Amino acid sequence: MRFSRLTVVLAAAAIPLSLTGCNGKKDGAPPAKDREIVFVFKVDGLLYGDACKRGAQQASDELDGVTVKYLAPDKADAGKQREIIEQLIAQKVAAIVISPNDAEAVRPIIDKATEAGIKVFTWDSDAPNSKRIFYVGADDVGIGVDVANQLAKDMGEKGKVQIVSGGRAADNLNAHVVGFEEGLKKYPGITLVKPYIYNDDDNQKARSFAVQAFQKDPGITGFACANSPSPPAVGQAVTQLNKIGQAKVWGLALPSETKPYLKSGAVSGLILWDPAKLTYMTAKLVNDYLDGKEPADGMDFPGVGKLAKKGAQVVMPTTIITKENVDEFNF
């Protein structure tokens, strides 16, 4: 796969000063795209990823002199992510922003990009032991604890909970699972069903595995879902098996794809952020960093709110989404 780069050469002698702005570009003409920031997501084909792509495009449209791109492999595979990043290193882009499928597997390629002079960041999912500069996302463990607390309350603090996630090596998803476990420890009446379900962020697997979970253990009364395909998939299974009201479902997912199940009660609630805003904000923070300005704790980002800076992590606020407020969200 090859990526084109637009280079604009201006012959200064041919352009009168009266027609140029303070940046040397001709008034009314589009700026030269002389900086590329490229986002590399886990897998193509998810509505969550589509929202991230919209955020990248918005940033590309608004940032002068900057092209922002979004790429993703056709499967949630660390090797395919590495192939994309290898191509970007060869292209000598300014910055690469990664949501790793496997934090450890992507670490060597992050090192290689850094050694080549490319600035590397993570967003949505982290690679904390790598040379990435900073990570932009949610408090991944904290959001898991919040999901666990909401689920436990809905279950009357008793029953069986099945944890569902995507890729086994995704740092953010594993952190959500740790949060589920930590949160549910406070409720002695709740037991965890083992083994946990991993659907590899595959929509079809998510649906079939949810049905199989009920077939294996009809006594399951709660689901804690770490990845976006899972809440609507479990909601579909709850509906199909006539378990609305008997099994409570909380997790992380887009309100747009979960709305029917929230409205029917098949899914109780979600905790999430707007992935388009997350990606747009990350692009601007990365661009600011390339210009010498680092993100600061407590900074107020328009349309998002106050950001927290915890070491090399930039944390954005989250939102609780239920049937009462789901119509307020357009992502």
Query: Is 325 within the bounds of a domain?
Result: no
The CA distances from residue 277 to 38, 56, 209, 285, 318, in Å, are 16, 9, 31, 12, 12
Query: Is 79 within the bounds of a domain?
Result: yes
Backbone angles phi, psi at 296, to 5 degrees: -120, 150
Query: Across-strand partners of 225?
Result: 164, 251
Answer positive or negative: Cα dihedral of 269, 275, 276, 278: positive
Question: Do residue 170 and residue 180 come from a single domain?
Answer: yes
- Mean pLDDT, residues 66-74: 97
Lowest mean pLDDT among 24-28, 107-111, 205-209: 24-28
The CA distances from residue 30 to 11, 24, 27, 162, in Å, are 16, 12, 8, 53
Cα–Cα dist 249/147, whole Å: 10
Question: Do residue 278 and residue 132 come from a single domain?
Answer: yes
Cα–Cα dist 246/39, whole Å: 41
Angle at 291 between CA 11 and CA 309, to 5 degrees: 160
Q: Taking 70 as the threshold, does the pLDDT of residue 217 lie above it?
A: yes
Token pair 């910055």: residue: 95
Question: Do residue 98 and residue 77 come from a single domain?
Answer: yes
Q: Taking 80 as the threshold, does the pLDDT of residue 11 lie above it?
A: no
Question: Do residue 57 and residue 131 come from a single domain?
Answer: yes
Query: Is 95 within the bounds of a domain?
Result: yes
Angle at 205 between CA 203 and CA 206, to 5 degrees: 60
Query: Is 109 within the bounds of a domain?
Result: yes
Query: Is 29 within the bounds of a domain?
Result: no
Is the whole-model pTM more than 0.85?
no
Question: Do residue 91 and residue 151 come from a single domain?
Answer: no
Letter for the amino acid at 97?
V
Of the pLDDT bands very low, low, confident and very high (cuts 50, 70, 90), residue 31 is: low
Using only C-alpha atoms, the chain has a radius of gyration, in whole angstroms, of 22
Q: Taking 60 as the threshold, does the pLDDT of residue 121 lie above it?
A: yes
Q: Taking 50 as the threshold, does the pLDDT of residue 300 lie above it?
A: yes
Task: List the CATH number of the domain containing 49.
Answer: 3.40.50.2300
User: pLDDT value at position 22?
Assistant: 35
Containing structural domain, residue 155: 140-272
Q: Taking 50 as the threshold, does the pLDDT of residue 24 lie above it?
A: no
Backbone angles phi, psi at 165, to 5 degrees: -140, -175
| Cβ-count burial 187-209 (b if 16+ within 10 Å, e if not) | beebebbeebbbbbbbbebbbeb
Mean pLDDT of the chain: 91
Question: Do residue 222 and residue 303 come from a single domain?
Answer: no
Cα–Cα dist 103/75, whole Å: 16
Quickly count: other Cβ atoms within 10 Å of residue 24's Cβ. 12
| Cβ-count burial 42-61 (b if 16+ within 10 Å, e if not) | bbbebbbbbbbbbbbbbbbe
Give the count of domains, the chain: 2
Query: Is 13 within the bounds of a domain?
Result: no
Smallest Cα–Cα separation from 161: which of 187, 143, 141, 198? 187
Question: Do residue 262 and residue 285 come from a single domain?
Answer: no
Question: Do residue 174 and residue 229 come from a single domain?
Answer: yes
Cα–Cα dist 274/248, whole Å: 23
